C-alpha cells in the first residue's frame, strides 16, 4: 500500500485481537480483513492529520457499511 501512496497502517494494541481474528479468517472471508485494514488506514491518516495540526475534512467516504469505491479499490489492489 505504501507504493500506492498510503501511509504505513498502524494497528493499535486495543484492536490487536480483532486484527488477529480478521487475519486468521482472511482465507475464508477476505472482505472482513480488507475492511479492517481500510478502517485502520483511515484512522492512521486521521492521526497524521491531527499531528500536523490540520483540520480533518468531512469526506464522507463511508456509505452505510460500505467503503467508497476509490478507497476500497486502493485497498484491494494491495
pLDDT in tens, 30-57: 888 888 988 888 888 888 888 999 887 7
- On whether residue 35 sits in a domain, the answer given is yes
Report field, pTM of the whole predicted structure over 0.85: no
Give the chain's length.
78
- On whether residue 13 sits in a domain, the answer given is yes
Q: Containing domain of residue 22, as a range?
A: 8-77
- On whether residue 18 sits in a domain, the answer given is yes
Distance CA 32, CA 6 (A): 20
Element (H, E) at 62: strand 62-63
pLDDT in tens, 12-33: 899 999 999 999 998 888 888 8
- On whether residue 3 sits in a domain, the answer given is no
Amino acid at each position: 500500500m505504501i507504493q500506492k501512496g498510503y501511509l504505513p497502517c498502524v494497528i493499535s494494541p486495543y484492536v490487536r485481537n480483532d486484527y488477529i481474528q480478521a487475519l486468521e479468517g482472511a482465507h475464508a472471508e477476505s472482505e472482513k480483513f480488507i475492511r479492517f485494514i481500510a478502517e485502520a488506514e483511515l484512522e492512521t491518516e486521521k492521526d497524521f492529520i491531527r499531528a500536523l495540526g490540520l483540520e480533518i475534512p468531512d469526506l464522507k467516504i463511508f456509505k452505510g457499511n460500505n467503503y467508497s469505491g476509490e478507497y476500497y479499490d486502493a485497498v484491494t489492489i494491495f
